[in-house]
Structure 1
Amino acid sequence: MVLPLIIFGISLLLTVWIYRSMMNSMRNRIRALVSEEREAEERYLHLSRRKKTLQRELKDLKNRAVLARKDISLAEHQAEDREPIKDTPQDRNDPDLQRAAEYMINKGLITIDQSERAINKMEAMNMDYLGVCITLGYVEMEAAKGVVKAIGLHHSTLSAD
């Protein structure tokens, strides 16, 4: 009769030990899952904020693009309405054009991109470099006259004023 009691006791101990092992394993897994859930929530919140920021930036860039297109369209319409400043456009390799472009870029009057656009539009608009810059609204007439004086373009139509 003692042997069945010993076997029952050992079975009971094994059952309790297995039960506790399973419970500890489940608790550890639940802790790991809770930790992963917190990390996922933090990533989600971070990405949500980042998405909103990027959407605002995209909206701002789209607005800028629309305004830039309107400015270009307006400048092109104004260019059609104005008299050309010079009858024949300058050659792209003209040293005076290069000096004027470098001077205006270095003084921050125009950007490199604006300078390249002006050079590309000279022939189509039948104007010299400074005339195109004025027509497209990159510089004011007074600033262009200042460039003429500063670099000594005595043959420019702006130097006559």
Structure 2
Amino acid sequence: MRSGDRAVVLRRALPRDAGAAADVWLRSFAAALPAVVRPRSDAEVHAYFRHVLVPLRETWVAAAGGDVVGVMVLEGEELAQLYLAPEWRGRGIGDRFVALAKERSPAGLSLWTFQVNGPAHRFYERHGFTAVQWTDGSGNEEREPDVRYAWRP
């Protein structure tokens, strides 16, 4: 964290965090993947966070003061979501989320990211993940070519 930043705490998401976590996801997706067409409306993304991710999945948030600035979702050994508010990138929060994910799943992790997301590839490779599968995107809702990464200790 840079000096002057508010302290960032990683904690399990609470029901009251669902809206803010969805907003982080929407803003981050738009900033990082402007050419990828989202198949779900903003309202559908908010409903998914409110009814599925926060209550039924292992969802974590990065909180700075009262603001949610990042979100991570684990589903067993799958790192299903990791998104940061664009203005909070480059401050070590993603590194902390990955360390937490590895701690929570010490036998290994896997994840999917879009092939067009070069910064995500570099980020995960820096954390020891290896690309293990490339697809044409026919298996995801966005119909966007993606890559599966795996980390094994």
Q: Same fold, TM exceeding 0.5? A: no
Higher strand share: 2
TM class, shorter-chain normalised? Answer: under 0.3
Which protein is richer in helix relative to its size?
1
TM-score, normalised with respect to structure 1:
0.25
Query: Which TM-score applies when normalising by structure 2?
Result: 0.26
Q: Which has the larger radius of gyration?
A: 1
